[in-house]
Amino acid sequence: LKECLEEHKGRCKAEHGRIRTWTPSRLLDVGNVQADNDPKDISGDVRLCKGTDCIPRASYFTLSHCWGRVVPLRLLSNNIDDFQKRIKLNFLPKTFQDAVVITRTLGIQYLWIDSLCILQDFEDDLRRESSQMGEVYSNAMCNLAATGARDSAEGFLPRSEGEPRIWSSTVRK
């Protein structure tokens, strides 16, 4: 990612160096990962923040995932205040934890996940935020797609050194 951002300017249509003027309404603050911290340490919690309260024009990642039969942890009217204080990382489904690990590992502070950044029980918020999803994904620095996971509980990173996983990547030019 660092090589792409620093060395590949002008080689693809992505404008990674551009100044971002658009931010999602809400993002997950996964923390500022220092070089001496282990990004795989799931003890570090995350929190929901309003886009206007985040670092201005900050880069963020998104997660595209299959809800499947297991309903993932969701942002609701009765937990939004708690989520803005803290979401215990080990309470998140494995797919969400994996996305946090990748986001932290690559030194990005913010992550957008639909079920945690859109109020799922408030029709006006669902309608407004759903209409902005094109902007959310097109303005993200990186879109993580958990295409190999049947639901959010499964995860998409290998759980052990020898565990095989099918990986595919697509680079669009």
Nearest CA-CA partner of 148 in 139, 140, 157, 138: 157
**Cα separation, 126 vs 118, whole angstroms:** 6
In a domain, 15, yes or no: no
In a domain, 132, yes or no: yes
pLDDT tens figures, 54-109: 888 889 999 998 887 877 799 999 999 999 999 998 899 999 999 999 999 888 99
Highest-confidence range of 24-28, 35-39, 57-61, 88-92, by mean pLDDT? 24-28
In a domain, 33, yes or no: yes
pLDDT of residue 168: 52
Give the residue numbers spanning the domain of 111. Answer: 23-145
In a domain, 140, yes or no: yes
In a domain, 153, yes or no: no
Q: Out of 12-26, 45-59, 104-118, pick the least confident.
A: 12-26
- What ranges in 8-93 are assigned the alpha helix state H? 80-85
In a domain, 17, yes or no: no
Spell out a b/e string for 24-36, using b for 16 or more CB atoms within 10 Å of the CB, else e. Answer: bbbbbbbbebeee
At CA 84, angle to CA 83 and CA 85, rounded to 5? Answer: 90
What domain count does the chain have?
1
Specify the length of the chain in residues: 173
pLDDT tens figures, 122-152: 999 999 999 999 999 999 999 999 887 777 8
In a domain, 120, yes or no: yes
pLDDT of residue 98: 93
**Cα separation, 117 vs 28, whole angstroms:** 7
pLDDT of residue 31: 86
In a domain, 11, yes or no: no
Specify burial of residue 109 (Cβ count, 10 A radius: 0-12, 13-18, 19+). buried
Two tokens, residue 63: 């997660």
Is residue 41 scored above 70 in pLDDT? no
Nearest CA-CA partner of 112 in 62, 171, 167: 62
pLDDT of residue 162: 57
Report the SS3 class of residue 87.
Answer: strand
Is residue 165 scored above 60 in pLDDT? no
Is residue 163 scored above 70 in pLDDT? no
pLDDT confidence band for 173 (50 / 70 / 90): very low
Number of neighbouring beta carbons within 10 Å of residue 152:
27
Between 86 and 155, the more confident residue is 86
